[in-house]
Structure 1
């Protein structure tokens, strides 16, 4: 149920994804149980070149499009939602460098990403402000071409295994929290320490634990203009996050529905379940309907992003935010419908081949990952600016 891929899909994308999902499937139960980062899946992403999906071919990458990212994220989400989110967030960081890094930074980083040597983590959360993108409290300082970083982040997905970080901070001369810069730091340029355990309900393999980062980087590692992160957020971070995350969530829920249908149509399933039950059929219908709605909204938002329009226009921001909110709510609800449809044995227990229990736990994080409540507040303000109710 993925949107039609663009014509430039790399010829080996399907094979590469099959290789990664085979590894992911093999280790997903253990990484979820033990809350371990999926090192084996990351190694497969490195080895297949998928970390360089959005890196231009001129820098050795696959030259993929946002549609390729959406298709890949759905496929990985069907296998392991943590792996899908790790991949989607890395691609978001990569695109920021492709579009806003200066030539020297692109020439330095992009070939390494393309070869699988650089996995990127995002550092945008901060104590006291949560994951709010457009403000920062910690300030860049320094002189003589160097910038000092002293940053604590309560949530950094995969940070313990990242080779580099894109970090939001107040720009050196900022007088308000809204003057935010984005800076890149190699792992070797930082002193990194962890803080606390990672023992969540779901998304356990994402290992999104807190990190303390300190060090210094050359001024040329600022991505975009000093204090200009708001443009990167509007044109890259927000759109690719909402498209990538929603694709992963849709993949996770679609995979769950597929496993349920295979169970029901199997000989054992036909003996156990009454496939003429109106209640069962209605719940399956509701689940499919929810996913169709998300898929349609995802395809519409993807088309808008690929058209190259200015994404800061209120109606377009509203569409992207609506995608994230709807996907978070409906994908979780679709799996919850399936839990009710199958009952205790195959809907609730961990050892069911449907894996609904894990999908439900993982998808519960979707509404909290850049909170739906926060987005609704933003959308209320945006809607007030669009009195004509014009749709993107």
Structure 2
């Protein structure tokens, strides 16, 4: 993969390697080390890092385009890339000078892969009352204790952005996601008390290393907190305003489904049928519409970028799943074979709707002003 100044692209040869990796992980359910090596050496991990720290200073539009293209070959790896970019962007926006100088250069070089650890079992998508706590210590540091679920990159990340409760939660009707009294912490994966668990057997995104992360009496320094203590909802709300969207993953998956379906139909002479050609045109139009709203989110040209970002995730994830289902009908019995690539893509498309913010939470956030 290559990143030129102001222009980001993914080499076709590397995309082919990532496709081969996706086929392996669809069977094994484990992160593919060869694909991770490609990602680390690609330069793409430096996409959101400011140029002053050795990165490429890419914004949401560039992130969405690159994530989408990686997703055409390997949706699992595109999720890992997206989460890394999200953490890097938060450090660039909210980090102290020392944190930026410490973390951003190695992130840009691919030496540090970052992941988010926000979700918890039983807490719900809105994450109002967390079980994971961070307790201030006499030396000014913090002691983290708790468990995170559905952490993408668990066990392969070098750095986790952990959401924890630092004081009693405060009910704030203005916040639909998170609550006052929650804070973010940058936690080294090698720190004592950090225990990843990849025992989850996922249907989709099987190569994303999505699993559990336990934090047992994990001591971090006073300099580990990111942003104001107790005000995590401010940071969370700001994420939506950036325009970076998981809808880009769905667009990439839908594009891969279209290409696969066209190859299948063409190889069997089925495109000669007028009705079949028109069905493919309809699918292509839906993918174009999803791509357009993802582009609009990244361009930040709407009156309310936060809402556009949420709509882009909702619309693109629905399109990704619907296009894969329609493609399965077009492939008929060929798509019913367990090992067919289409089934992996369909499972990956379904998974995007469940990734944070989940589609359910996106709807709540969009509808909140009407309550």
Scaled by the length of structure 2, what TM-score is found?
A: 0.89
**1:221 Cα deviation after fit:** 1.7
Unpaired segments of 5 or more residues in structure 2?
172-178
- Higher strand proportion, which one? 2
Identify the residue that residue 4 of structure 1 maps to in structure 2.
none
Are the counterparts in 1 of residues 155 and 198 from structure 2 also a CA contact under 8 Å?
no
Alignment of 1:208-357 (within 5 A): 208-214=210-216, 215-236=218-239, 238-239=240-241, 243-265=244-266, 268-270=267-269, 273=270, 275-278=272-275, 280-304=276-300, 315-345=304-334, 347-352=335-340, 355-357=341-343
SS in 2 for 1:190: coil
Q: 1:12 to 1:299 in 2, by over 3 A?
A: closer
1:81-137 deviations in whole A, cap 9, x for unaligned? 101111011100110001100111111111111111100111000122134356533
Partner of residue 163, structure 1: 158
Contact 1:100/1:223 (8 A) holds in 2:
yes
Q: What is the 5 A alignment of 1:23-172?
A: 23-133=17-127, 135-143=129-137, 144-172=139-167
Partner of 1:197: 199
3-state SS of 1:204 partner: coil
Partner of 1:387: none
For the structure 1 residues 349 and 13, does the alpha-carbon distance in structure 2 shift closer, same or farther, using more than 3 Å as the test?
same
Q: For residue 359 of structure 1, what is the aligned residue in structure 2?
A: 345
**Contact 2:88–2:114 (CA under 8 A) maintained in structure 1:** yes
How far apart, CA to CA, are the structure 2 residues paired with 1:12 and 1:321? 26
Q: 2:359 aligns with which of 343, 364, 372?
A: 372
Q: Secondary structure at the match of 1:365?
A: helix
Structure 1 residue 175: deviation in Å? 5.7
Distance in 2, Cα, partners of 1:257 & 1:127: 35
Deviations along 1:47-76, whole A, 9 cap, x unmatched?
Answer: 122111111121111222222111110110
TM-score for the superposition, normalised by structure 1: 0.84
Secondary structure of 2:251's partner?
Answer: helix
In 2, the alpha carbon distance for the partners of 1:174 and 1:220 equals 23
Question: Structure 1 residues 183 and 23, CA, compared in 2 at 3 Å: closer, same or farther?
Answer: same
Which one has a larger percent helix, Structure 1 or Structure 2? 1
Check whether the contact 1:35–1:198 (CA below 8 A) recurs between aligned residues: no
Deviation at residue 12 of structure 1 after TM alignment: 7.1
Measure, in 2, the Cα distance between the counterparts of 1:66 and 1:319: 13
Q: Which moved more, 1:171-180 or 1:280-289?
A: 171-180
> How many corresponding residue pairs?
359
Q: In structure 2, what is the equivalent of residue 390 of structure 1?
A: none
CA distance in 2, matches of 1:295, 1:32: 25
